[in-house]
Amino acid sequence: MTITDLSVRRTWRSLPAAQQPEWPDPVALRNVLDELRSYPPLVFASECDQLRERMAAVARGEAFLLQGGDCAETFGGVSVEQIRNKFKTLLQMSLVLTYAASMPVVKVGRMAGQYAKPRSKPTETIDGVTLPSYRGDSVNGFEFTPHARTPDPERLKRAYHTSSATLNVIRALISSGYADLRQLQTWNQDHVELSPSGRRYERLARDIDKALQFSRGFGIDSEAARSVEFFTSHEALLLDYEDALTRPDVITGELYDLSAHMVWIGERTRQLDGAHVEFFAKLRNPIGVKLGPTCTADEALALIDRLDPDREPGRLTFTTRMGAGKVRDLLPTLVEKVSASGAQVVWQCDPMHGNTISAPSGHKTRLFDDVVDEVTGFFEVHRALGTVPGGVHIEVTGEDVTECVGAGTTNDDLPLRYETTCDPRLNRSQALDLAFLIAELYHR
Ligand code: PEP
Ligand code: MN
């Protein structure tokens, strides 16, 4: 029996899968999945391998991992401008980090596939009307009507095509030289230029420009300064969709989920006896698991046994999201026990999901200070233990939204540009502020 036999591939189907939509018509779903299976992959296995190697460098402390993007991408959010702004935000953050930490930054977008959301409640009630919760554009619509909120499997095809369109824009931006470091001044010619972090970035960009000119004067004109490596990722929540895009490598026969370079398991679907862990165990991609404050060290160790039995550096990323008030208490035991097990995981801090609160206006928000505090605690813990603070995972957009409070946005600003369909994101100016603060943490 080879690993590609369907019986092995589909073992997850006999296990409970949390957070799956209730599709109204199983035949329609089956037809959509058959069609998806006939589509070309969105990424190539060799690209996933390359990211796994980069992640191994992160695990060893030789590179920093920056992962970010929307909580929930939307089918409407695929204009070149929106994609470019998000991409640019991540590039600018990574430039700040590279320059400050003198370390390569591995850049991974929560982009081109982040269309499915786990929800704490299956239904939502507004003014006495109860409808299914919004589960992301790949499942149902955000609009609060019975029609929009009914899961529609045709949306899975749209998720594929929208991911493909997004990837096409990203690949075209890269190949047309947008990420060329000689252009880095032009990345900042808009409103952010006027903010304190924008001005700080401006100074840094000038310094880098001078350094580049200096190197070129010596005849050192690095190819690496002209292009960028950028990878995509999302929470692989909908196992039917992910399975349909999972393909065996033509040479090795190993399975890759080719809907993205990296995929992760969310906090709500990491049950050891559940379908998600079983599905991920079969994949060769670099993978992640979110770990919230209830995660015990024994659970983390069991996850390693299932997902990284060979203890391969770069294979597994643990993305901790404890909350600013808990990270200093809860993280040390996890890190100590995992290190003692011999696993070389990437430790990544998600300073967003443990710090979500309700603003007086009722908006779901996050305080910038809490975000900074959790990242600071994460660095402190790793410094004290002598382990590697590998990277951060953030919810961010390139637009000038007002969704998180602090660093230029007040509670009163929240209604002005609150555009997320799910969790609140940092705007570009807040993202740059965060990058400068992380850069400082490196030098403490
Ligand atoms: C998310 O990343 O949007 C998310 C739902 O996170 P978590 O699984 O950590 O709650
Ligand atoms: Mn989120």
Mean pLDDT of 249-259: 96
b (16+ CB within 10 A) / e for 29-58: beebbeebeeeeebbebebbbebbebbbbb
**CA-CA distance, 206 to 436, in Å (whole number)?**
16
| CB of 135 closer than 6 angstroms to any ligand 1 atom | no
* Domain 6-179+228-441 falls under CATH 3.20.20.70: yes
Cβ(353) – ligand 1 distance below 6 Å: yes
* Per-residue pLDDT at 297 exceeds 80: yes
Residue indicated by tokens 């813990």: 381
The Cα 346–Cα 344 span in angstroms is 7
365-378 average pLDDT score:
98
The reply to whether ligand 1 has any atom less than 6 angstroms from the CB of 290 is yes
Average pLDDT for the chain:
94
Q: State the Cα–Cα distance between residues 90 and 428, nearest whole angstrom.
A: 9
Query: What CA–CA distance (Å, rounded) separates 189 from 88?
Result: 11
What is the distance between the alpha carbons of residues 442 and 101, in angstroms, rounded to a whole number? 6
Which amino acid type is present at position 278? E
Q: Alpha carbon of 415 to those of 173, 357, 365, 367, 397: distances in Å? A: 32, 15, 11, 15, 17
Residue type, 4: T
Predicted pLDDT at 3: 47
Segment 265-278, tens digit of pLDDT: 999 999 999 999 99
* Tens-place pLDDT, residues 91-113: 999 999 998 778 899 999 999 99
Three-point CA angle 308, 309, 311, nearest 5°: 65
Q: Mutate which of 133, 135, 353 to test ligand 1's pocket (most atoms within 8 Å of Cβ)?
A: 353
Read off the pLDDT band of 223 (50, 70, 90): confident
* Residue 353 assigned to a binding site: yes
Structure tokens at 39: 């589509």
Given a cut of 70, whether residue 4 has pLDDT beyond it is no
Span 301-316, pLDDT tens digits = 999 999 999 999 999 9
Q: Which ligand has the shortest distance to the CA of 321?
A: 1
Q: Residue 406: pLDDT band by 50, 70, 90 thresholds?
A: very high
Distance, CA of 182 to CA of 208 (rounded, Å): 9
Strand partners, 356: 366
In angstroms, what is the span from residue 224 Cα to ligand 1's centroid?
Answer: 33
**204 touches 439 (CB < 8 A):** no
What's the N-to-C CA distance of the chain in angstroms? 54
Look at residue 438 and tell me whether its pLDDT is greater than 90.
yes
Separation CA 157–CA 139 (nearest Å): 10
From the alpha carbon of 118, which atom of ligand 1 is closest?
5
Residue 373 has pLDDT above 90, yes or no: yes
- Cα dihedral 247, 249, 252, 255, rounded to 10, equals -30
Q: Which of 321, 327, 422 to mutate to test the pocket of ligand 1 (most atoms within 8 A of CB)?
A: 321
Residue 192 has pLDDT above 70, yes or no: no
* Ligand 1 centroid distance, CA of 87 (Å): 21
User: For residues 344 and 166, what is the distance between their CA atoms, to the nearest angstrom?
Assistant: 32
Residue 315 assigned ligand-binding role: no
Question: Would you state the pLDDT for residue 321?
Answer: 98
Q: Quick check: 7 pLDDT over 80?
A: no
Minimum-distance ligand to the CA of 233?
1
**Is 50 exceeded by the pLDDT of residue 347?**
yes
* More confident: 331 or 208: 331
Q: Is 266 touching ligand 1 by the criterion CB < 6 Å?
A: yes
In this prediction, the answer to ipTM > 0.95 reads yes
Q: Is the pLDDT of residue 6 over 70?
A: no
Q: Where are the domains of the chain?
A: 6-179+228-441
Which of the listed residues 356, 423, 426 should we mutate to test ligand 1's pocket, taking the one with most ligand atoms within 8 A of CB? 423
Query: Ligand 1, atom 2: nearest CA belongs to which residue?
Result: 71
Question: For residue 65, is pLDDT > 90?
Answer: yes
**95 vs 93: CA distance, rounded Å:** 5
Residue 321 Cβ inside 6 Å of ligand 1? The answer reads: yes
The four Cα atoms 41, 35, 116, 407 give a dihedral, to 10 degrees, of 50
Percent residues over pLDDT 70 in the chain: 96
Q: Which tokens hold the place of 12?
A: 């997850």
CA pair distance 135, 251, nearest whole angstrom: 37
For residues 138 and 238, the answer to whether their CB atoms sit within 8 Å is yes
* Predicted local distance difference test score (pLDDT) of residue 211: 83
Ligand 1 contact, 424 CB (< 6 A): no
- Which residue has the CA at smallest separation from atom 10 of ligand 1? 267
Interval between CA 322 and ligand 2 midpoint (Å):
14
Higher pLDDT residue, 252 or 207? 252
